[in-house]
């Protein structure tokens, strides 16, 4: 395989899925350092997820995919509708760009905020934490022009506006104080500033993706490829190959490089609805993988499907690139595929009706949060990870 082919492979959902599957095979053979798999607990996990889906979406054939747009509606407020009202009358291309800019900035700010931070929403009086809080805070920052350099055009994220974001300005919009601390604030600012640099040198995704749609259709893997190609330079330079930043890709002693691309795939899922609203049908959704993040992974640990080989693994705090974290995240991806297959079988639906994006939404992410709240007062994940605000 040539260097260029290797890079293309590592920046693909196929590589994420194949390396995750290999990780699961090692775990099932008893050959991983940190985790074993208790296959007898799969039934319990699937039953929990089915109950969660039915509680939130009684019609399993009709509910939305996992995406940042779900979080914008938290608390019963139609914030997406508020955006639509402000975009009414604008050219379609400008409206699409605004929706992309909102989603991109919001997803990049979506790494875990920690158990303490909360956002008190002006106007509604509601208080939100974690991912929903980050979504609502980023929505208000976007609507206020916090990412734009042009006061007359606030609903955009442009190069100069992003490069002007500082820890102080982000902390102000996100209400971060000594009494309301947020994990990884400097890392979030650095991501936004690097996004500004990318916008100076690359075409906007809202221009590129419609051009790549053939006959009005666009494979999901092509959306991810574009996201990784355009936004690759923003990620901290942890692993590179042939001079290319591999982003959310990590070394593992048994498998070599293990790509996961959590935030990039989360962003890809979140771009689907703006694209479809613009008349572009995104196809082959299940070419993407599940998300290697702490709610999905926490479900499998808390439910006993993943079993730590040493009790101290759940007591210590681990660096995000530690083998135990890489194993946990890759196993999460592989087990999500297994759970999805079993869900479809039990519910009597196919992958077209219940794609992985809906399994996550219905689903594993919600079930992971619920079981965390059952097990721990602060609903924190079972494995402690030292995050810099750019991965989870």
pLDDT attached to residue 386: 87
Tell me the DSSP string of 107-168: HHT-S---SS-EEE-TTT--EEEHHHHHHHHHHHHHHTTTT-S-TT--S---HHHHHT--HH
Is the model's pLDDT at 61 over the cut of 80? no
Q: Which one has a higher pLDDT value, 197 or 214?
A: 197
pLDDT digits (tens, 9 = 90+) for 285-323: 999 999 999 999 999 999 999 999 999 999 999 999 999
Q: At what angle do helices 92-108 and 130-143 cross, to 10 degrees?
A: 140
Domain of 350?
3-386
392 domain-assigned: no
Please choose, from the candidates 340, 224, 342, the residue with its C-alpha nearest in 3D space to the C-alpha of residue 287: 224
Calpha distance 253→249 (Å, rounded): 13
Q: Quickly state the pLDDT bin for 113 (edges 50, 70, 90).
A: confident
pLDDT in tens, 161-174: 999 999 999 999 99
- Give the whole-angstrom CA distance, residue 30 versus residue 212: 44
For residue 36, CA distances in Å to 227, 251, 291, 299, 310 come to: 34, 20, 20, 15, 10
Place of tokens 């929505």: 139
Q: Is 319 within the bounds of a domain?
A: yes
Is the predicted pLDDT of residue 237 greater than 80, yes or no? no
Whether the predicted pLDDT of 388 surpasses 80:
no
Confirm whether 372 is domain-assigned.
yes
* Residue 39 included in any domain: yes
Which H/E stretch holds residue 36? strand 35-37
Q: What is the pLDDT of residue 392?
A: 58
Distance CA 110, CA 142 (A): 14
pLDDT at 389: 66
Question: What is d(CA 75, CA 267) in angstroms, rounded to the nearest whole number?
Answer: 22
The verdict on residue 335 lying in a domain is: yes
- Encoded tokens for 243: 């001079």
Task: Tell me how far apart the alpha carbons of residues 334 and 17 are, in angstroms, rounded to a whole number.
Answer: 7
Sequential DSSP letters for 323-387: HHHHHHHHHHHHHHHHHHHHHHHHHT--TTTS-HHHHIIIIIHHHHHHHHHHH-TT---SSEEE-
How high does pLDDT run on average in the chain? 94
Report d(CA 370, CA 354) in Å as an integer: 21
pLDDT of residue 214: 82
Q: How many whole angstroms separate alpha carbon 110 and alpha carbon 107?
A: 5
pLDDT for 205-227, tens place per residue? 999 999 999 889 999 999 999 99
Domain assignment of residue 310, yes or no? yes
Is residue 176 in some structural domain? Answer: yes
Instruction: Find residue 317's DSSP bridge partners.
Output: 384
- CA proximity to 328, closest of 318, 338, 337: 318
Task: Give domain status of residue 94, yes or no.
Answer: yes
Angle at 285 between CA 280 and CA 287, to 5 degrees: 130
Q: Is a pLDDT exceeding 70 seen at residue 149?
A: yes
Count: domains in the chain = 1
Give the separation between CA 26 and CA 32, rounded to whole angstroms.
Answer: 6
């Amino acid at each position: 395989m040539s260097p260029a082919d290797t890079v293309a492979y590592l920046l693909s959902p196929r590589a994420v899925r194949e390396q995750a599957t290999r990780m699961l095979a090692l775990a099932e053979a008893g050959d991983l350092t940190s985790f074993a798999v208790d296959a007898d607990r799969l039934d319990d996990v699937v039953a929990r997820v089915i109950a969660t889906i039915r509680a939130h979406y009684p019609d399993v054939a009709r509910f939305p995919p996992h995406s940042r747009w779900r979080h914008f509606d938290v608390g019963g407020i139609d914030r997406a509708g508020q955006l639509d009202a402000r975009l009414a009358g604008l050219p379609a291309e400008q409206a699409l760009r605004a929706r992309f800019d909102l989603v991109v900035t919001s997803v990049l700010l979506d790494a875990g905020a920690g158990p303490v931070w909360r956002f008190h929403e002006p106007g509604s009086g509601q208080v939100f934490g974690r991912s929903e809080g980050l979504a609502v805070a980023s929505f208000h920052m976007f609507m206020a022009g916090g990412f734009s350099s042009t006061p007359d055009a606030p609903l955009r994220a442009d190069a100069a506006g992003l490069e002007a974001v500082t820890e102080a300005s982000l902390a102000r919009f996100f209400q971060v104080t000594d009494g309301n601390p947020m994990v990884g604030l400097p890392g979030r600012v650095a991501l936004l500033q690097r996004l500004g640099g990318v916008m100076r040198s690359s075409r906007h995704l809202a221009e590129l993706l419609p051009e790549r749609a053939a006959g009005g259709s666009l494979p999901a893997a092509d959306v991810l490829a574009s996201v990784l190609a355009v936004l690759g330079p923003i990620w901290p330079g942890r692993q590179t190959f042939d001079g290319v930043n591999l982003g959310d890709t990590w070394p593992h002693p048994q498998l070599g490089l293990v790509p996961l691309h959590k935030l990039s795939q989360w962003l890809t899922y979140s771009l689907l609805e703006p694209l479809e609203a613009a008349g572009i049908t995104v196809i082959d959704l299940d070419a993407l993988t599940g998300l290697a993040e702490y709610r999905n992974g926490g479900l499998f640990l808390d439910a006993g499907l993943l079993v730590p080989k040493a009790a101290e693994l759940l007591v210590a705090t681990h660096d995000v690139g530690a083998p135990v974290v890489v194993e946990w995240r890759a196993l999460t991806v592989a087990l999500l595929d297994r759970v999805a297959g079993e869900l479809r079988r039990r519910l009597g639906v196919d992958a077209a009706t219940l794609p992985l994006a809906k399994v996550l939404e219905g689903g594993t992410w919600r079930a992971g949060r619920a079981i965390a709240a059952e097990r721990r007062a602060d609903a924190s994940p079972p494995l402690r990870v030292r995050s810099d605000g750019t991965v989870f």
